[in-house]
Amino acid sequence: MALFGAKQSTAKKTSKDDSKETKLKDDKVDKKKTALKKETVVKEDEKTDKAETSMKDLYAGEGVDKKTTKVSKKTASNSRFDGAFRVLVKPLVTEKATELTSANKYVFVITKASNKIEVAKAVYAIYGVRPVDVNIISMQGKRVSRGRITGKRKDWKKAIVTLKKGESIKIYEGV
CA distance 28 to 26: 5
- For residue 93, pLDDT over 50 is answered with yes
Q: What pLDDT score does 77 carry? A: 44
20 or 96, higher pLDDT: 96
Confidence of residue 125 (pLDDT cuts 50, 70, 90): very high
43 or 36, higher pLDDT: 36
- For residue 106, pLDDT over 70 is answered with yes
As a three-state string, the secondary structure of 80-148 is: CCCCHHHHEEEECCCHHHHHHHHHCEEEEEECCCCCHHHHHHHHHHHHCCCCCEEEEEEECCCEEEECC
E strand or H helix at 62? none
> Would you state the CATH architecture of domain 80-174?
2-Layer Sandwich (3.30)
69 or 90, higher pLDDT: 90
Domain ranges of the chain: 15-79, 80-174
Answer for the pair 160, 100: CB distance below 8 angstroms, yes or no: yes
Q: What pLDDT score does 30 carry? A: 72
